[in-house]
Chains A and B, each alone.
Chain A
Amino acid sequence: MMSFYALVIEPFATLAFMRGALVACLALALVNGVVGTLLVIRRMSLDGDVLGHAVMPGAAVGFLYAGPAPTWLSAGGLVSGLAVAALAGLVARGRYRQDAGLVAFYLIALSSGVVLVAWRGSNVDLMRVLFGTILAIDRSALLQIAAVASAVILASAALYRALAVGAFDPGFFRTIGVRAPYGLIFQALVVLTLVAGFQAFGTLLAVGPLLLPATAARCWGLGVAASMALAIVFGLVASAAGLLISYHGNVPSGPAIILVAALPFGISFLAAALRQRVPAWG
C-alpha cells in the first residue's frame, strides 16, 4: 500500500514536468470556470465546441511555419479561431441558423487542420496538435497560458454585466440603442481561452475542461458567481486527480483529466435529476 505522500505529493515534488503540468492546469481551471460558466448560461455550449476545433487549421499553419513551437501554434490558432467566429457570425445574419453554420465550419476546420499537419509532420506531431502535450509544457508556454488566462479573466470581470444581459434578453440592447458588439467580444474571449487550453489538451480536447466543470456546476441551481467558483473547484480537483492517475496508471494525461472531470458532471446531473431540476443547457 502506497503512502499518501508517495501517492499524491511525491510525483509533483520530484518531477518538474508534473509541476509544470499542474500549474498550467490550475491556470486553465480558473479561466475555464469563468468562461465556461458564461458559455453555459448563454446557451452557447455548441459554439464553444466548434470554436475549439476552429483553432486547428491556424495552429496547423503555425506548425508548418515553425514546427511545434507554442508561440506560433497559439498565434495561428488565435487567428483561425477568430476568423471562424467572425464567419459564423456572418452566416448567422443570413437565413441559416447559427448552429448549422458553426457545425459546417467545425468540420471544415478540423479536416483542413489534420491534412495540413499530416502533410509536413509525423503522426506524433498530429497527435500533439489534436490531444495536446500537457506533460511537455515549458516555461515560456506556461507563462503564455498564465498571461492569456489572466487577461481573459480580467476582461470577463469587466464585461460581465453586459455579457449576462445580452444572454438573458438578446433584443434588449438593440431596442435601447446600445451598439457595442458584446457577442463578438465574448466569442473572442472564448477563442483566447481555447488557445490557452489547446497547448495542454489539444484542439480536440481543449473544450472538455472548458465545458464539463461549468456544466456540472450549473446543475446545482446556484447564482452565476457561485456557479463559477464551483466550476473552478471541479476543474482544479479534476486536474490534480487526472494528472496523478495518468502518472501512476501510465495513461495519457489530457484524457485522464477529462475523464475525472466527467465524474462531478455525472454526480451533479444525477443530483439535479433527483431534485427534478434538470437545467436546459442548449
Chain B
Amino acid sequence: MIARRWRDREADGQILLRDVTVRYGRQTALDTVSGEFPTGSLTAVVGANGAGKSTLLAAIAGTVRLARGTISCAARHRLAYLPQLAAIDSEFPLSVKELIMLGAWREFGAFQAPRAEVHSRALAAAETVGLAQRLDRSIQELSRGELQRALFARLMLQEASVILLDEPFAAVDAPTAAALIEHMTRWHQEGRTVIAVLHDLDLVRARFPATLMLAQRCVAWGPTGAVLSGMAG
C-alpha cells in the first residue's frame, strides 16, 4: 500500500552528475566526477577511507556545496538521506515515535499536529523494522542497531524517489543488517533510486547490480561484476 501511494506521485529518480567537485578548504574531496544514476537503479559506492564516498552522498543531498560542476536531480526535495550514525545526536531527548514521524515532516511542518494517518504509518514502519514495542522509549535507550532501524523507519515515511544511505549496515548486528538489506531491496523493486556507501564487497557483489568506485575521482562505474573484477572480497 505504501508502494502504491508513492507511485501515485512518482517523481523522476534520475541523478546526473557533471564534473562534480567538492573541496574542504584546500583539500579536494571529490574531483570532476561525472555520470548518471538512472531512475530505479541500485548502486553501491565503494572506495577507501577518504575517497569521497560520503561527500558524494552529501553533495547529492545538498548538504555540501559544490566547488565546480552540477548535479541535476528532479527529485531534489523528494530525497531521503540516511547520514552516518555518528552524525546523529543519540543523546537527544526524543522518542522513537517522534523520530520516525519526522519522515513525514513536509506533511505537518513546524506548527501542525501530525494527522492520525501519519501516526498509523509510523506504527506500521516501526512494526516492519521490529521496533513496535519501543515506540514510546527515548532514543537514548536504543542500541546502535535499534537506532539505525528507527532511522530506516523514518526513511520509509519519507516516501522518497531517491534514497541515499551512508554506511547503513556499519555497526549493526547481523540480523538487523539482514532485515535492513531486505528493505533496501524492496525499495529497489518499487522503482526508487537507491545509492548506498558500503565497505562490505561481498554484500555489494550479492545485492547491488551497479557499483561506483571512488578515489576522489571516479575510478570505475558500471555493472558490479565488471567494476569489482580482480578485487579480493
Q: A: which residues have CB within 8 A of B?
A: 41, 43, 95, 158-159, 161-162, 164-165, 167-172, 174-178, 180, 221-224, 227, 279-280
Contacts and interface: CB of A to CB of B under 8 A. Distances in A.
A224 B105 CA distance: 20
A227 B94 CA distance: 13
Given A159-B110, A168-B89, A169-B89, A175 B94 contact: no
Nearest to B102: A165
A41 B93 contact: yes
A169 B106 CA distance: 16
Interface string B153-185: 000001000000000000000000000000000
Given A169-B87, A171-B61, A171-B63, A176 B92 contact: no
B186 interface: no
Given A171-B58, A171-B83, A223-B138, A176 B94 contact: no
Contact of A175 (B24, B81, B93, B138): B81
In order of increasing CB-CB distance, the 10 nearest A-B pairs are A177-B77, A162-B110, A95-B25, A175-B81, A171-B63, A175-B61, A168-B92, A224-B93, A174-B63, A223-B93
Contact of B140 (A159, A171, A180, A221): A221
A227 B140 CA distance: 15
Contacts of B63: 171, 174-175
B121 interface: no
A176 B89 contact: no
B197 interface: no
Which of B77, B79, B93 has the most chain A CB within a 10 Å cutoff? B93
Given A41-B92, A169-B88, 12 more contacts: A95-B24, A95-B25, A158-B111, A164-B92, A167-B89, A168-B88, A175-B61, A175-B79, A177-B76, A177-B106, A221-B140, A223-B93
Given A95-B25, A175-B81, A176-B158, A168 B94 contact: yes
Contacts of B87: 169-171
Interface band, chain B: 20 to 34
A162 B87 CA distance: 18
Interface in B30-77: 58, 61-63, 76-77
Contacts of B61: 171, 174-175
24 contacts: A41-B93, A43-B89, A95-B24, A95-B25, A159-B110, A161-B110, A161-B111, A167-B92, A168-B89, A168-B99, A169-B89, A169-B102, A170-B87, A171-B58, A171-B61, A171-B81, A172-B105, A175-B79, A176-B79, A177-B77, A177-B106, A221-B140, A223-B93, A279-B91
Nearest to B162: A175
Contacts of A161: 110-111
A19 to B, nearest CB: 36
Contacts of B25: 95
B94 A164 contact: yes
Interface string B76-119: 11011101000111011110000100100110001100000000
A164 B33 CA distance: 36
Contact of A227 (B58, B93, B111): B93
B144 to A, nearest CB: 16
A280 B91 contact: yes
A170 B88 CA distance: 8
Contacts of B77: 176-177
